[in-house]
Amino acid sequence: MIGISPSRITSSHGWNSRDPVPVTSTITMTELLAQPYRALDEQRVDEFFGLLSTYPNLEWIAPDLQIADRAAQIRARHRLRTPDALQAATAVQARATGLITNDPVFERVDEFDTLLLDQLV
């Protein structure tokens, strides 16, 4: 899940104040690393972690109590699983206007627009 939120990066970082900022929850890293860990593929784990943790201009947001509360509200309202609710709450907390994902469950959430990658191919 990658959310697109208004810029919080100053011009000293090389971004125009109108440029969108891609954001994601640290939950994303957990979800992406689970399969290579399950396969005992340490090389793939290192590759994914290295790529994602250094991805240019991507802002990683760890869940906090505000996100947890928002996730509970989203989970109750839209009947999402906890990890999906945490992802959605992170996007909402970051004021994301759009969410890029492969999971159609996020189309239930009306606080942002959802773009399904499968629909682009």
**Structural domain of 75:** 2-120
Whose tokens are 């969410």? That residue is: 99
| CATH number for position 25 | 3.40.50.1010
Q: Which position has the higher pLDDT, 2 or 60?
A: 60
**Could you report the per-residue pLDDT of 58-110, keeping only the tens digit for each?**
999 999 999 999 999 999 999 999 999 999 999 999 999 889 899 999 999 99
Q: Which position has the higher pLDDT, 16 or 75?
A: 75
Q: How many domains does the chain have?
A: 1
